[in-house]
Amino acid sequence: MYHTELFDANNPVNPQQKTQIVDFLFENLEKYGDPKPGIAKAIDYATEVFPSFGGNVFTLYHNDELRGACVVNRTGMGGYVPDNLLVYIATHKDYRGEGLGKRLMETVLKTTSGDIALHVEPNNPAKKLYEKYGFENPYLEMRLKH
């Protein structure tokens, strides 16, 4: 039996849940992820631990086992930049191909209002899932890192 949980400023994650979600995303994003402090910061942004535009953290459980997680941050810049940034989405690496990513993505799309942007590397297998839901690549992203 699957069930999802939604966390935000009105329903923040407790420290134990946050650690579990950070560890899960770190392990299951593999080479497409970020260090744990970055993941934790995105969760804190979504749940407004510090002043931010907020967002949502989604988890997907099968019985009591975490099988998927997603973090969406609101940008506060709707109209000229997408309203939301899907920062992280991952499914448990032992259960890929079972429709868990689809289940998470549908929950995100039903719950989130406004445009959604995400970053995906061209060789990431999840790119096909995003394209299935209508995500397009209208721009080439360039970054200057200091």
User: What tens digit of pLDDT does each residue of 78-98 get?
Assistant: 999 999 999 999 999 999 999
b/e sequence 106-125, b meaning 16+ C-beta within 10 Å:
ebbeeebeeebbbebeeeee
19/40 Cα distance (integer angstroms): 8
* CATH code for the domain of 14: 3.40.630.30
Confidence of residue 125 (pLDDT cuts 50, 70, 90): confident
**With pLDDT > 90 as the criterion, what percentage of the chain qualifies?**
84
The model's pTM is 0.93
12, part of any domain: yes
141, part of any domain: no
116, part of any domain: yes
123, part of any domain: yes
Q: What domain range includes position 35?
A: 2-132
Amino acid at 131: E
Residues paired with residue 70 on neighbouring β-strands, in sequence order: 58, 89
Please tell me the total count of domains within the chain. 1
137, part of any domain: no
Work out the mean pLDDT of the chain and round it to a whole number.
Answer: 94
